Amino acid sequence: MPRLFSGIELPRLVRERLSVLAAPVQGAKWVAVEDLHLTLRFVGDIERRTADDLAHALAGIELPQLRLRIAGLGTFGGRDQRVIWAGVEDLGGRGDLEELARQNERAARSIGLAPSQRTWKPHVTLARMRGGREQEVARLLGDYGAFATEPFTVERFVLFSARPNVGGGPYGVVDAFPLGAGP
C-alpha cells in the first residue's frame, strides 16, 4: 500500500540554494536537499488500484507550464512552530499554480478520496520542528526573510511516493504528468 502525494519537483540549483538556509536551530529536522519539493495534494496510504486510478485522473489535467520562484520564509504552528517553510510565487500572472492544485484536488475526489482537510498554501517545507526555540527561528526568519531564487519553469508535475505508513523521504517519482507549452 503506497503513501502518495502529488507535487512539483524543484530544479537542483533551487534545492541547493534552499539548502544554505539549514541553520542550526534547536529542534529543527531539516529536509534532505534531494527531497525538497512543492506538495500539490497529499493523498496518504492507498491501495495499488486506487493509486492507478489516481494516476489516470491526474493524467487528464491540461494546464500550461508554470513559471515559479521560491521567495520568503515563514512558519506554521503559531507560537508552537511546527514547520519552517519557503514561499512559492507564481510568476505567470494567471493563477495557474492554484488551478493546478485545485485540479489535483478534483482528481483525488473524482476517484472517491475524501476532501483534503487542509487549506492549500504553496510552500516548500524546509524543516519540521519539535521543541524549537522561538528566538532562534525568529533570527533565521530575520536573516533570510528576503530570500529568493531565480525564476524557473515547471514542465511537469508528479505523483510521489513516500515511505508507507510513516511518510518521509526519500521520495520516489511514481508517475509524471506534462504541462503544456503555452496558456
What digits encode the pLDDT tens for the residues 93-120?
Answer: 899 999 999 999 999 999 999 999 889 9
Quick: pLDDT tens for 4-51: 999 999 999 999 999 999 888 888 999 999 999 999 999 999 999 999
Confirm whether 56 is a catalytic residue: no
Catalytic residue among 3, 17, 41, 123: 123
- Domain residue spans in the chain? 3-178
Residue 25, φ and ψ in degrees, nearest 5: -125, 120
Instruction: Give me the residue label for grid cell 514542465.
Output: 155
| Pairing relationship of beta strands 28-30 and 123-129 according to DSSP bridges | antiparallel
Instruction: Please give the average per-residue pLDDT across 113-133, as a whole number.
Output: 90
Catalytic residue among 3, 15, 17, 37: 37
- What CATH class has 3-178? alpha beta
| Pairing relationship of beta strands 37-45 and 123-129 according to DSSP bridges | unpaired
